[in-house]
A and B are shown apart, each in its own frame.
Chain A
Amino acid sequence: MQAGLLQTYNNSAQRRGAGAWIIASLLFAFYILIYFTEAFTPVAHAIGLSGKWNLYGILYTIAILSGGLYFFKRHGNSRYHRYRTISVMLVQTVFAFSIPWFMELMQTRGFIFSLFWPLKIDYFYPSYIMEYPLPVILYAILGSLIIVPIATFLFGKRWYCSWVCGCGGLAETAGEPFRHLSNKKPGAWKFEQISIHTVMLLALITSAIVLINWGLGKEVNGVMVPMYPAFSTVVFKIQGIYSFFVVALLSGVFGVALYPILGSRVWCRFFCPLAAYMGLIQKLGRFRVTVKDDMCISCGNCSTYCEMGIDVRMYAQNNIDVKRASCVGCGMCAHVCPRGVLKLENKWDPNPMAEESKIKVFDL
């Protein structure tokens, strides 16, 4: 057994008991206040910070660092888990927190090098990105369109989702006590396929029309002026809607507040447009969870502790390698398997879309 996971179900806060609902309510309230009010601005000022988002950044980093230590206590006996946890802790501290902070001290706008479009949709909004120096602009564009797909093809989306990403980083550390709460039912899988691709499509459309609108602008006395003001109004409205529903509500409020109810990867699994984009590449790429034939005892530790709600056991007991778009490669299924059946691997597959390498919602 995995020492860190003992008594998981004996703790009410970890099985949607009263404690879980209290934590969820507090998180919900916190996110509403920070996103939609200025309640935290005086708090930030009082401790010498320039605004509420700096305060949020500090809290977020503390959550990842302390959650990371907790994770070490539970799974520190595995090198894979040690390395990737150190990675998310470092990326958060250095790239997501310190560098932008330092840039702001230098009187430039902070830039987070560990985010990519379309998770950070602003990177394809010209009004946002054009304010940065050319190397940063190139990094944002090439990173999203070249580095992300190539790295995902080679290593699976795990290189990002469970080694780099801030959202994933929080899920893997502070969200660790709740990973088993993800819904494993076939219905959740169907919902995920629809919801995540819908958000990806919305991100694409929003980015596209913002770019078109910018391309249609003309310069008058050094100021960009829209050529078709009516179109621009619509574009701004859509931009605002995306930012409210997807960025604030889904990734912020629901993504984190629902940890104790639906598990730690609600945003990543159901809504993240970058996860959807990388998921499509992952299906064609090298990454898979290899299943050792006929060794599975159907115990279900893998499925229970899959934060993405993949019914890994269904694959393992049917001798089918797991190649799922949603898999973030956290490695927990392989780690908790008492029979060493599963192994995360990057290897060439001559025929990635072969019929026998797929499993439909369930088979016998």
Chain B
Amino acid sequence: MHYVIIGNGVAGINAANQLRKRDETSSITIISKESDHFFSRTALMYVLCGQMSPSDVEPYPRDHYQRMNFTRVRDEVVALSPSETSLKLSSGETIQYDRLLIASGSMARSAGWPGEELDGVGNFVTWQNLEWLTEKSRTAKKAVVVGGGLIGIEVAETLLAAGIEVTFLIREKWFWPIAMDQNEGLMIIDHMRHHGCNVRLQTEVKKIISQEEKVTGVEIGDGEIVDCDIVVATIGVVPQTGWLVESGIELDKSGGIVVGDHLETNLPNIWAAGDCTSVVWFNGIRRPEQLWYTSRDQGRIVGLNMSGDKRVYKRSTFYNSAKLFDIEYTTAGYVNFNFEGEQNWYHREPDTNRTTRITYLPDGSVTGFNMLGRRWDHRILVDWVDEKRQLDWVLQNLHIANFDEEFFPSFKIDTQALKSGVV
């Protein structure tokens, strides 16, 4: 049996590991155009800012591929021919497979600005992006970061730390509206400004200004020009599936590979996992889940299924975490789905950047938690959402789920004020 895995990211490598656990003899080939070694994509910023070395972000020892007997191919797959069960590589070679996993991940969304193709404009998604930005940040004096999400704030933070003047352009009214409400998003923006980041809200790029192929600025909505040497576009990612359009694999309108419960595609002996995959969410809507955790879980399950299991991939209750500059962020449950009649319980600890937001339904059952400035045990919060705990009970017991470092100022809510609901 020859297993072929396209993609050396978290989904691909987890699938390969599971396959090898199940099957010690079959040959397993991993094809990647990006890197020889699996690395943590979420750690790219730490390499950029010199906090970690490139090899520090590799989760497995360097000899992992030898020990597991994985064959690596560094090339780009340009076409899939299901009828011939083969893949065509950009070098012109073809590779035959018995069972194929597509874990080609996602790529930066194209912004479509005039001048986007200039060398001073780029993204921060791939290892090659990291190399590009590392090089550019040595000489750049001013940078524009576009896109009010997680990668954007990470890039802004890192470039600021490198002594570069950063202007952060956000299209929406506050930072990261798919995760934050107005209170939270504006608090983060205050924090960014406090760190010297020039944030511009409700601002979009019209075009890139350049002189002799060198970026000199961006023109924003009202014709104003913001000077800069580099532009980093962090306006989201899309499934990397353009090479599959002719293959007969079913793609959804976002380009995600449509898979069934077992992460199988519409074609025989082909599975898909990770960012390139479109799955059905808890609310019945099909779309890609572009998260580290879901890619990892999908990789593990698809590996088992490719070796003969029939495991169902079911997305468990949502959780995520991040660090926004130095503000910890944990979310659990469904805070941004606007259920009917949903209400917010919101509390900001005085004179801090520590906030608690709990969403709940008219019957009092909690649906989600959005927490900033503290660490929380998402396992407990997820359980409470699953158990449909009442808001009153949750508020009384919230300290149980606290996960702060020892000696961190303890979590207390004034119970008197709590009853009135206006803490």
Interface of A toward B, CB cutoff 8 Å? 1-3, 5-11, 15, 77-80, 83, 185-186, 292-295, 297-301, 303-304, 313-314, 317, 331, 334-335, 338-340, 343-345, 362, 364
Contact = CB atoms under 8 A, between A and B. Distances in A.
Given A1-B45, A300-B59, A301-B46, A6 B322 contact: no
Contacts of A9: 50-53
Interface string B133-169: 0000000000000000000000001100110000000
7 contacts: A3-B161, A185-B61, A295-B321, A299-B40, A301-B43, A343-B375, A364-B17
Contacts of A78: 405, 408
Contact of B43 (A8, A299, A334): A299
A304 B407 CA distance: 24
Grouping DSSP codes into helix (H, G, I), strand (E, B) and loop, the A interface class, with mixed when no group exceeds half, is loop
A37 to B, nearest CB: 39
B190 interface: no
A292 B407 contact: no
A292 B405 contact: no
Interface string B376-394: 1111000000000000000
A185 B56 CA distance: 12
Q: Of residues A6, A294, A298, A313, which shows the largest number of chain B Cβ atoms within 10 Å of its Cβ?
A: A298
Contacts of A343: 375, 403-406
Contacts of A344: 405-406
A293 B46 contact: no
B346 interface: no
Contact of A299 (B46, B319, B377, B403): B46
Contacts of A313: 59
Given A3-B161, A7-B49, 14 more contacts: A1-B45, A1-B161, A7-B51, A8-B52, A79-B409, A80-B405, A299-B42, A299-B46, A313-B59, A340-B328, A340-B330, A343-B403, A362-B60, A364-B21
B53 A15 contact: yes
Contacts of B51: 1-2, 5-9, 301, 304
> In the complex, which range does the number of interface residues on chain B fall in?
35 or more
Contacts of B53: 9, 15, 304
A79 B407 contact: yes
A302 to B, nearest CB: 10
B399 interface: no
Contacts of B378: 292, 295
Q: Of residues A79, A334, A338, which shows the largest number of chain B Cβ atoms within 10 Å of its Cβ?
A: A338
A214 B176 CA distance: 73
A77 B404 CA distance: 13
A294 B321 CA distance: 11
Given A1-B161, A3-B161, A299-B40, A292 B379 contact: yes
A85 B376 CA distance: 26
A59 to B, nearest CB: 31
A1 B158 contact: yes
Contact of B50 (A6, A292, A334, A335): A6
A10 B46 CA distance: 12
A316 to B, nearest CB: 10
A298 B59 contact: yes
A37 B328 CA distance: 53
Contact of B403 (A185, A335, A340): A340
B323 interface: yes
Given A8-B51, A297-B42, A303 B406 contact: no
Interface in B324-382: 326, 328, 330, 375-379
A300 B52 contact: yes
Contacts of A292: 377-379, 403
B46 A1 contact: yes
Contacts of A299: 40, 42-43, 46, 52, 57
A3 B297 CA distance: 32
Contact of A300 (B45, B56, B161, B409): B56
B330 A304 contact: no
Contacts of A335: 405
Q: Of residues A2, A79, A83, A292, which shows the largest number of chain B Cβ atoms within 10 Å of its Cβ?
A: A292
A80 to B, nearest CB: 5
B407 A6 contact: no
A116 B42 CA distance: 44
B313 interface: no
Contact of B407 (A80, A339, A340): A80
Given A6-B161, A9-B50, A299-B40, A338 B323 contact: yes
Nearest to B47: A9
Given A1-B45, A299-B40, A8 B50 contact: yes
Contacts of A340: 321, 323, 328, 330, 375-376, 403
A1 B158 CA distance: 8
A297 B403 contact: no
B40 A1 contact: no
Contact of B322 (A3, A185, A338): A338
Contacts of B318: none
